[in-house]
């Protein structure tokens, strides 16, 4: 119970220390565009490697299935 009360008190102090956020409009367009560009380039770079790995796994499973002697 003491730990719970300590956590609750710490949370209340932390919330009280936060600055008051105004209702001003914030434009996240530039950040979203940059993040989208980075994600797209990462996917483009990783896609061929993922296809090769997937083909190898499927090929290995097919080989194991049909190569039983």
User: Rounded to whole angstroms, what are the CA distances from 10 to 1, 15, 20, 31, 50?
Assistant: 14, 9, 18, 32, 46
Q: Does the pTM exceed 0.85?
A: no
Mean pLDDT by 10 residues, the chain (69 residues): 63 61 79 94 95 97 87
Q: Does 11 reside within a domain?
A: no
DSSP 8-class letter at 20: P
pLDDT at 48: 95
The token pair that represents 30 in the structure block: 């530039």
Q: Does 22 reside within a domain?
A: no
Tell me the residue range of the domain where 31 lies: 27-69
- Count of domains forming the chain: 1
């Amino acid at each position: 119970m003491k730990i719970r009360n300590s956590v609750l008190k710490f949370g209340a102090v932390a919330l009280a220390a936060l600055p008051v956020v105004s209702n001003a409009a914030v434009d996240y367009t530039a950040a979203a565009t940059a993040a989208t560009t980075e994600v797209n380039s990462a996917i483009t770079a990783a896609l061929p490697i993922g296809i090769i790995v997937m083909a190898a796994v499927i090929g290995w499973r097919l080989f194991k299935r049909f190569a039983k002697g």
